[in-house]
Amino acid sequence: METTKFILIGGGGHARVVSSIIEAQEISQLEAVFDLNPKIETLDGVSVYQKYSSDLFPNASAIIAIGDNRIRKQLAQTINHVFGVLIHSSASLDRLSSVGGGSVVMQRAVIQRGTRVGKHGIINTASSIDHDCVLGDFVHIAPNATLCGGVVIGDETFVGAGAVVLPQIKIGKRVTVGAGAVVTKNIPDGATVVGNPGKIITSYGAN
């Protein structure tokens, strides 16, 4: 079987976890990493290049390995490689669910039936997404967060570690859900939600 080659955009701590997912797949190989920080010369033994070029490793698939949603969105517009998808072997993805290009599903994450994950998403370690959820592009679901069935999440939203979103809740674009929050009501664009039950502490709109 032919080896799938990857490049990573970003060489920080999040990139190291993404790199470990590539290593865990016998038919995948990390070719190179691109990061503007001159102090980062290698990522776990893989060479780091400061300047990205589409001429380098043209047959590799790219993953933007940066946790910040807005930065991922900005960089995605500058990358000319095809974006791949990475799903760790310990994760569970139902056959009737889908994950968009550029997205990463990490160790022990669960995505149940009928769920759609958009482009450039991060489904982080041991997070749980139940049936029929819809996640927009550039969404980050942090470790151990739980989305119950039928949840809808807008583009660039971050759901913090250990947060819980109750069934059928709709969360807007560019929302921040704090770690450990329990979201019991729909949340408008641009809001920050904390606590149990979740309360909106700031709201600036999606722009």
57 torsion bin: left (phi>0), alpha (psi -120 to 50), beta (else): left
Contact 181/195 with Cβ under 8 angstroms?
Answer: yes
The pTM assigned to this predicted structure is 0.95
73-124 residue pLDDT tens: 999 999 999 999 999 999 999 999 999 999 999 999 999 999 999 999 999 9
81, 88, 120, 131: the active-site residue? 131
**Res 205: pLDDT:** 65
Domains in the chain: ranges and CATH: 4-76 (3.40.50.20), 87-197 (2.160.10.10)
Q: How far apart are alpha carbons 12 and 183 in whole angstroms? A: 30
40-82 residue pLDDT tens: 999 999 999 999 999 999 999 999 999 999 999 999 999 999 9
Give which of 89, 87, 80, 36 is closest to 60, Cα–Cα: 80
**131 flagged as catalytic:** yes
DSSP 8-state assignment for residue 14: H
Task: Give the chain's largest Cα–Cα span.
Answer: 52
